[in-house]
Structure 1
């Protein structure tokens, strides 16, 4: 077995997990999950990702890596509690998985999603991320003793070893929490247990969670993940990958998982030159990454307990630092086209406002407002002249 691809798969899984699991836990708890249900969701996501990576890697001999939807988890944080509580959120996760499966089966649905202007989709994501990315600033002002080590670690590693800046700052945050809340941690369960929830459905949850979660996952995870594979010379099994991740989302939703998708940020670690000089052997990274996710999932209970016991601001600061890169990328792409800037800015500010109208969260209204303004600005403009 080739050592370099195997090592690359382990690194990709560890970096992907450690960089964003706090965002997932925060997102699940924001929409109503208890700590036990959040730990169950984290475990279920890890196991589904492992199974999907092993299947796709062995079947296609391609270094396909899967992940949870970090932007989707950030969306859950900004959305907060929905009508119907946690069971309604679980129902929304099921609808998201169903939409991804339908995208694999019905090409026209994918074309419909593709008609959403990329600038507006990225602006919506940026607005969702902004409140989270402000957390390091506010937390540092409120609890400088606890938060300063986290920020300083991130800053030093960003200069010396950029890839490990976020995992390193998160590790320091966990150490700070353990030292600060030893008595609280002593009474919390450390082993994850699958906690199933019967789904419920509400219009507010479907419009606030399911639809935006589907759009964000497709635009910010699946499409970029496929692009990374293509850029490294691989043919992406697109429809099968969507089918596998959609089914994975359907399976993990009752256990608390929100969305399984193609990895985007860490995909290059398994598909690029860091996984070895021979592209034909890099698919081993998918297998080692899958095995690593199984092991990481076993620690979901302990990690969720630490996050739950944290003093206000410490974990939020680490999560905000983890999302700064995604915020920068989303803003850059949202504002790149001068013709789309006004609709993109409107989408951004509405999403960042966190407003809830008629029980529907800001992400839905942000996309709607951007589309309406875009249509108004384009109304009456002459079309392109035929050549």
Structure 2
């Protein structure tokens, strides 16, 4: 082979590996703050939250490698970012963190059931998308307000983060949230240096902290069911659609088996759920990742390896969150959810005939009102379905 032809072909061999690294970097840095916020809200200690981030990184990395390798497709997995936002809105349930871990295991069982019992998947699909997305939008609203309130609470810390996000959104939208996180990191490091805070090096080492699960009605109904519905409706179903748009037909049963088993393995260490990637899936499946569609699976494997490597830094990321000045990390988390919030609102009110049930669902979810120890997310679904049934009765 000539030197000229080798120099032409070599970039194509590197490109899918690079695409996988970019996919993992964007996916991780864009939403890890949401994950830590959600785990903290349902009762995790800093060590348990860092463990959950590590468990999610390891299991979704392994899922990427297994699915991409076996299916020869650029299938990528991700943690459930909408699910983490849901946890942030739920707060601590009866039974505390062990009950939340039990709910994560129930989610894993439900995901596995969708692979083994097609009827369960059909039941989830029967929930009107407008109501499911309205519930998600209501859950996301308080988190999306954090950058706005943060600019009042801590302007010196939050305003630079928001300005960075705005500028990079204009120039390179894909990197807007990672750039905002980098600015937040500078703010945190500057604060640590100014205060003279000592950081224990041992706390920066990754470690899995296992928790024995407990199962309560409040955690199953208030966490597990809404988390399962959000994960399926906002991640798995759109993830399949994104892959189909690039010419790949993801095998449903193997995908649900792998992500369900991954969720079950990660739950005792604090991982709430892994699923098929949706938005970030395009980074590995698009022609930009590799001109030859038959070789894009390499990008999926590269994504998985990169997630596992990033998992090794989970304790460092958790320490940054713990040491951050007031309102800085919530602002980053809120910025990361702007896109998801806008998409959920659009889908919720897109159909005029479904608009009123969606509005009721949104308002109940956004209220944060818990009843009988069950979170507002569940009652939002109930209220939306009841209003929809009343309005469509006899039609």
Superposition TM-score, scaled by structure 1 size: 0.97
Q: How far apart are residue 266 of structure 1 and its match?
A: 0.3
Are 1:100 and 2:111 matched, yes or no? Answer: yes
Q: How far apart are residue 185 of structure 1 and its match?
A: 5.5
Q: How far apart are residue 310 of structure 1 and its match?
A: 1.3
Q: How far apart are residue 301 of structure 1 and its match?
A: 0.3
Q: Name the structure 1 match of 2:90.
A: 79
Q: Residue deviations 1:35-58, cap 9 Å, x none?
A: 111111111111111111111111
Q: Residue deviations 1:82-115, cap 9 Å, x none?
A: 1100000000000000000000000000011111
**DSSP 3-state at the match of 2:136:** helix
Mapped contact 1:2–1:281 kept (Cα < 8 A): no
Q: Name the structure 1 match of 2:9.
A: none
Name the CA distance, whole Å, in 1 between partners of 2:308 and 2:126. Answer: 37
**DSSP 3-state at the match of 1:195:** coil
**DSSP 3-state at the match of 2:78:** strand
**DSSP 3-state at the match of 2:204:** coil
Please, which runs of 5 or more residues in structure 1 have no aligned partner? Answer: 382-387
Are 1:195 and 2:206 matched, yes or no? Answer: no
228, 233, 238: which is aligned to 1:214?
A: 228
Are 1:234 and 2:248 matched, yes or no? Answer: yes
Mapped contact 1:191–1:301 kept (Cα < 8 A): yes
**CA distance change for structure 1 residues 185 and 225 in 2, over 3 Å: closer, same or farther?**
farther
Name the CA distance, whole Å, in 1 between partners of 2:391 and 2:198. Answer: 55
Q: Name the structure 1 match of 2:199.
A: 186
Name the CA distance, whole Å, in 1 between partners of 2:299 and 2:198. Answer: 35
Name the CA distance, whole Å, in 2 between partners of 1:81 and 1:175. Answer: 31
Q: How far apart are residue 147 of structure 1 and its match?
A: 0.6
Q: How far apart are residue 259 of structure 1 and its match?
A: 0.1
**DSSP 3-state at the match of 1:75:** helix
Are 1:360 and 2:374 matched, yes or no? Answer: yes
Q: How far apart are residue 277 of structure 1 and its match?
A: 1.1
Q: How far apart are residue 12 of structure 1 and its match?
A: 0.5
Q: Name the structure 2 match of 1:64.
A: 75
249, 268, 275: which is aligned to 1:261?
A: 275
Name the CA distance, whole Å, in 2 between partners of 1:357 and 1:60. Answer: 45
**CA distance change for structure 1 residues 35 and 184 in 2, over 3 Å: closer, same or farther?**
farther
321, 332, 336: which is aligned to 1:322?
A: 336
**DSSP 3-state at the match of 2:279:** coil
Are 1:128 and 2:142 matched, yes or no? Answer: no
Q: Which runs of 4+ in 1 moved over 2 A?
A: 181-185
Q: Name the structure 1 match of 2:159.
A: 148
Q: Name the structure 2 match of 1:41.
A: 52
Name the CA distance, whole Å, in 2 between partners of 1:111 and 1:78. Answer: 27
Q: Residue deviations 1:18-45, cap 9 Å, x none?
A: 0000000010011000111111111111
Q: How far apart are residue 187 of structure 1 and its match?
A: 3.5
Mapped contact 1:178–1:185 kept (Cα < 8 A): no
**CA distance change for structure 1 residues 268 and 344 in 2, over 3 Å: closer, same or farther?**
same
Q: Name the structure 2 match of 1:385.
A: none
- The Cα RMSD (Å) is 1.0
Are 1:251 and 2:246 matched, yes or no? Answer: no
Are 1:11 and 2:22 matched, yes or no? Answer: yes
Q: Name the structure 2 match of 1:91.
A: 102
**DSSP 3-state at the match of 2:108:** helix
Please, which runs of 5 or more residues in structure 2 have no aligned partner? Answer: 1-11
Moved more, 225-234 or 188-197: 188-197
